[in-house]
Structure 1
């Protein structure tokens, strides 16, 4: 938990100073309403806006005030709309949660099936062909997968809508776009772990007792092989939130990703900070849950396994 608090503070601090170092002037963007010509704005109005939003104070004072408010759960009001930043995040969150939830389910199901399929067949050529798919899926950029799906399943064959948030059918293409790299990453780790587990003595003992292939895979090998994949699964949750930024932009969906892009473009600091800290909080909570569940999967790793999990997730962060 102490490490999680440090991650949240570091995330907030880095995001704050990166936004402060951007070349544009937030006061000018506020006066222009997020667009238009900023060169023709009255300098007196700019000074008034800087004083109103505290932008005329030293940066360390701005940082201290923003951090103290964030600790209390208040990230301030949006520079452009005037609405509380937390309420804007809360309004955009449900659509993103639906998208990431469906994508996570597809990634887990597809990744697990592909991992087992790449190890289970007796034919070596088939195993090698299936084993080549996860690295390919990991290497494909999210926006490229989304554009391919749009081209084939929306424009050439109009099966699914290309843009929008209308109905469950509009979730299909964005969710698949998010699920492909995530599922490929899970399959890559799980298949490698399965191959190692199948050589363990207890698996060889099960073979010697006459257990069938299905029983050996499901009852003996898969449970222990799933432990490293479980760590990857926790990391994937944070990765899906990050991928939603690209996916929601490609498919013109209203959600947290699209709000992030708009807020960064308009240098709406309170909203960006709220989004960044929320994403970090999700990652910290999921990582903590993974650490706590590890001993339930295998009591032998109650000490060493949790340490390794934290090391892995820290590297991923």
Structure 2
């Protein structure tokens, strides 16, 4: 346990460093943008660029602390993050944290459903086809094609075929299981391709190990050998990719939520970018970084559960 505890401690330190780096990059992205931020804020609120009086600019500078030195602003920003304060929206005049929390549930539901679907597709495909020459080659080719499919293109195809032409699913909206199927598949299919490619090689290698022959001589069927014995020894690559996938899928959700007109973090981010609402943009960046870091810490814990030998390393 000592070795694993030390490794987890190192990962936690690097996780904090990664979060600090993401927060720092988000802060200086605001500071280094061309133009006067007070003027930008007033223009956003007015909906159009117009001349501003010195008094108006002074009020905004005082309200947001923009007259302070950059390092002072940076310190206030970091200390605010530690309290869960992501700042206030330039346009909505509300807490960024509150805005994000309101839209977080639909995005997390979509993300976790997509990951679960991707795992289901990958497991069925790999278990049934790995080690079988013809079926394996066909499945491998399909995985390569799926992994290279853009979310935007796949979402439109699924929308046209299954919503518009066949009418099996609603065209737009959210809130029902049926409305979640196509967006989740749009994110799940490419991820299933990535997971399948990484798992298939490990699965085929595990099929050649002596414990497989031992299980067969004890009377286990081919499917039992694959599910009970081989699968556990080939999941580490897919688990590792799932940590990366959480951040990638949340990024992909920006596109998917736009295609399927769903509410969520993606739609909030698109609106904020279009309106130059920088606190929301940087808040989403920090959130995605935090989710990515947490996911990778969970992956490290899952590694030790799947392969207890890692505890002794």
**TM-score after normalising by structure 1:** 0.87
Shift of residue 30 of structure 1? 2.7
**2:87–2:279: 8 Å Cα contact kept in structure 1?**
yes
Return the match for 1:22 from 21, 30, 33: 33
Counterparts of 1:71 and 1:160, CA distance in 2: 43
Structure 1: give runs of 5+ residues left out of the alignment. Answer: 305-317
Please name the residue that 1:91 is paired with: 102
User: Relative to structure 1, is the Cα distance of residues 161 and 46 closer, same or farther in structure 2, using a 3 angstrom cutoff?
Assistant: farther
Matched, 1:298 2:301: no
Residue 302 of structure 1 aligns to a residue whose secondary structure is helix
Return the match for 2:51 from 41, 48, 52: 41
Structure 2: give runs of 5+ residues left out of the alignment. Answer: 1-11
Counterparts of 2:64 and 2:171, CA distance in 1: 39
Indicate the larger mover: 193-202 or 13-22: 13-22
Matched, 1:104 2:142: no
Please name the residue that 2:19 is paired with: 8
Return the match for 2:238 from 229, 235, 245: 229
Matched, 1:134 2:134: no
Please name the residue that 2:191 is paired with: 182
**1:294–1:302: 8 Å Cα contact kept in structure 2?**
no
Shift of residue 106 of structure 1? 0.9
Counterparts of 2:171 and 2:38, CA distance in 1: 36
**2:239–2:302: 8 Å Cα contact kept in structure 1?**
no
Counterparts of 1:149 and 1:94, CA distance in 2: 23
Matches for 1:61-72 after TM superposition, within 5 Å: 61-72=72-83
Structure number with greater CO (CA < 8 Å, separation at least 6) is 2
Matched, 1:59 2:52: no
Residue 44 of structure 2 aligns to a residue whose secondary structure is coil
Counterparts of 1:131 and 1:118, CA distance in 2: 9
Counterparts of 2:15 and 2:178, CA distance in 1: 37
Query: How many residues are paired up?
Result: 301
User: Relative to structure 1, is the Cα distance of residues 172 and 211 closer, same or farther in structure 2, using a 3 angstrom cutoff?
Assistant: closer
Residue 12 of structure 1 aligns to a residue whose secondary structure is helix
**TM-score after normalising by structure 2:** 0.88
Shift of residue 266 of structure 1? 2.5
Residue 132 of structure 1 aligns to a residue whose secondary structure is helix
